[in-house]
Chains A and B, each alone.
Chain A
């Protein structure tokens, strides 16, 4: 069973960049994942999916400030030129046989 691991929290200054990490369990390093953003008191929003080769495909209306990449069993979400509205919880998601799996989420604070 695939498991996704995320750091519970991250922080960066307004206008800076931050890179969030989602780590796949050993044996599942080839899996693609999706990133979702959840702003306070709102439902989740799909940001992008990230493949094992680092290619990514963004959802509708997602700004260019959001990008994805990959290295081994790690999948990344980079947010550049941080804005106050980027302060949110970020979840990675993947899928196994007849199941969908979420990481525990990273709470991003914009300082």
Chain B
């Protein structure tokens, strides 16, 4: 059974940093691309970033330059380093496993809440 468990969320001041983690199990982590998707309170889903199985990283324009996605295949863990956080980054952050060969997000975690506020 595929499981994705996010952690690392919390309250951070504007301009601060946070690193999110996503522990994966139930599949061969190193073989699949992974994504981060966020959802601001009362809003829809917004793709944030993706990383291929080979380590290539992609970012939404809204976070480019402030966010870094990475993965540790030995630990089966996905990361999202977020810097220079703004109030508009407040959201639940989900990690998702992509299907083999395309960008379908076929499994999702339960999310971790990031609140940016003074």
Contact = CB atoms under 8 A, between A and B. Distances in A.
Interface size class of B (residues with CB under 8 A): 20 to 34
A77 to B, nearest CB: 14
Contacts of B94: 43-44
Contacts, number: 61
Nearest to A101: B47
A72 interface: no
B42 to A, nearest CB: 11
Given A46-B104, A95-B103, A102 B46 contact: yes
Interface residue SS majority, chain B: strand
Interface residue SS majority, chain A: strand
A34 to B, nearest CB: 5
B32 interface: no
Interface string B36-48: 0100000011110
Given A32-B102, A46-B104, A95-B102, A102 B111 contact: no
B44 A91 contact: yes
**3 shortest interchain CB distances as A-B pairs:** A95-B103, A100-B47, A98-B58
Interface of B: 35, 37, 44-47, 50, 58, 60, 94, 96, 99, 102-111
Interface of A: 32, 34, 36, 38, 42-46, 49, 59, 89, 91, 93-95, 98-105
